């Protein structure tokens, strides 16, 4: 049996894609980072992508590594919804971070949960990023990201 390795990043490390400061998007983004994660709110009828850099090993114990599984821990109220999750890999210096996994259309709302994703069994050649799309549908839309992680195994 091959060795397995699980790596996590805390929710405070989440990065929003669309912000007033960097993209000029006036979506009312509010973020509070604390020991329990990142609390995020936005204006009603807005949406955003949120990105987690997943610590990723390409070699462990002198062996190549494959990615196997990923997780996302969150709490979301009924005024917001996660409707899509992507996982991408920066597999080389000229890489455009190709998509390695896509949830398709989902509807995660009103939950305190850990989502679990089975990834294709492929050799890991670079860092992974988890991209989470959130729609803020009501006046009080809120999500709290607690963390994201990945499961890696020795490539056999």
Q: Strand order in 46-54's β-sheet? A: 15-16, 46-54, 128-136, 80-89, 99-102
Q: Would you call 100 helix, strand, or coil by DSSP?
A: strand
Verdict on whether the full-model pTM lies above 0.85: yes
Q: Is residue 85 very low, low, confident or very high in pLDDT (cuts 50, 70, 90)?
A: very high
The candidate with the shortest Cα–Cα distance to 40, out of 130, 149, 132, 144, is 144
Q: Are 101 and 120 in contact (CB under 8 A)?
A: yes
Q: How far apart are the first and last CA of the chain?
A: 10
Give the CA angle between residues 127, 11, 54 to the nearest 5°: 10
Q: pLDDT for 108-146, tens place per residue?
A: 999 999 999 999 989 999 999 999 999 999 999 999 999
The candidate with the shortest Cα–Cα distance to 53, out of 125, 127, 103, is 127
CA 60 to CA 107: how far, in whole Å? 36
Task: State mean pLDDT over 39-47.
Answer: 97
The Cα-based distances of 147 to 19, 63, 95, 153 in angstroms read 21, 27, 26, 20
Higher pLDDT, 60 or 31: 31
Domain boundaries, the chain: 4-154
The Cα-based distances of 132 to 19, 109, 114 in angstroms read 15, 13, 13
Is CATH 3.40.50.720 what the domain over 4-154 is classified as, yes or no? Answer: no
């Amino acid at each position: 049996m091959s060795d397995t390795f699980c790596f996590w990043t805390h929710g405070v490390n989440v990065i929003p894609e669309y912000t007033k400061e960097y993209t000029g998007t006036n979506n009312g983004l509010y973020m509070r980072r604390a020991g329990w994660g990142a609390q995020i709110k936005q204006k009603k009828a807005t949406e955003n992508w949120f990105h987690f850099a997943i610590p990723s090993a390409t070699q462990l114990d002198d062996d190549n590594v494959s990615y196997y599984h990923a997780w996302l821990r969150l709490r979301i109220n009924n005024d917001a919804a996660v409707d899509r999750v992507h996982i991408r890999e920066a597999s080389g210096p000229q890489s455009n971070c190709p998509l390695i996994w896509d949830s398709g259309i989902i509807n995660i709302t009103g939950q305190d949960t850990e989502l679990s994703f089975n990834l294709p069994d492929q050799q890991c050649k670079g860092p992974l990023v988890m991209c989470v799309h959130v729609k803020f549908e009501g006046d009080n839309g809120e999500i709290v990201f607690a963390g994201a992680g990945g499961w890696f195994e020795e490539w056999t």
